[in-house]
Amino acid sequence: MGKKVQMNIKASARPLLQKQAIKELLDPRLMNCYSEQEVYCMALCAYLCIRRDPNSRPRMSQVLRMLEGDVVMSPI
């Protein structure tokens, strides 16, 4: 996947994350067989991990706690 495509995915994902419209990012073949809260958590976590500034990215220990639900994540 080229850098231009990655930036477009990131740019299009941000507004969807902000309005918690994650369904628009998912494969429709999943047919709602998922937890929206878990998918939102995973997507937000991934978004935080690809920030331009490496110092603003979460540490892996923080990522683990976020995915386990031990840390409340603030929306973007």
Q: Report yes or no: 22 and 14 within 8 Å, Cβ to Cβ.
A: no
Give the span between the Cα atoms of 48 and 32, in whole angstroms.
Answer: 25
pLDDT at 3: 60
pTM higher than 0.85: no
Mean pLDDT over each residue of the chain, to the nearest integer: 83
* Tokens standing for residue 49: 């991990």
Confidence of residue 6 (pLDDT cuts 50, 70, 90): low
Confidence of residue 4 (pLDDT cuts 50, 70, 90): low
Give the span between the Cα atoms of 19 and 11, in whole angstroms.
Answer: 14
pLDDT digits (tens, 9 = 90+) for 28-55: 899 889 998 888 888 889 889 988 899 9
Dump the DSSP string for 53-68. SGGGSPPHHHHHHHHH
Q: Report yes or no: 24 and 16 within 8 Å, Cβ to Cβ.
A: yes
